[in-house]
Copies of this chain bind each other. A is one copy, B any other.
Amino acid sequence: MRAAKAEAVMPDGQPQIDRLFHALGDPTRRAILDALVHRPASVSKLATPLGITLTAVIQHLEILENAGFVHTEKLGRVRVCRLEPGGLDTLEQWIREHRTAWEKKLDRLGEALREEYEGN
């Protein structure tokens, strides 16, 4: 995810969308989410079945939190992690929007197949 050279349209990327996709792009993080679907859990409870260190889990949790998928809160010496309600909403909306445009245009593909990039 490096910054693109400045020129023309250069997408700076909606950083929130970036965070969503990036967070879900890692299998370990998806496993954490799956675990949290069943019940809230502490950092070490999450770490054990994953076979990685606490530190690594915390790092993943930070990413998941920034993406709005989980919320964590420290109770005593334990950090309790839960799913964030509505965490998937933004993502779902992104997909809905894009899917609409996507399908809409593809419908015209039959007619436009050749001419569309003839003049360009």
* Interchain nearest-CB distance for A36 vs B (Å): 9
* Chain A residues within CB distance 8 Å of chain B: 1, 4-14, 17-18, 21-22, 24-28, 30-31, 33, 37-42, 45, 48-52, 80, 82-83, 85, 87-88, 91-92, 95, 98-99, 101-103, 105-106, 109, 112, 116-117, 120
* Interchain nearest-CB distance for A97 vs B (Å): 11
Chain B residues whose C-beta falls within 8 Å of the C-beta of A11 in the assembled complex: 27-28, 30-31, 50
Further pairs besides A13-B28, A95-B95: 5, Cβ < 8 Å: A8-B48, A9-B31, A13-B30, A37-B101, A80-B117
Q: Does B117 contact A45, Cβ atoms closer than 8 Å?
A: yes
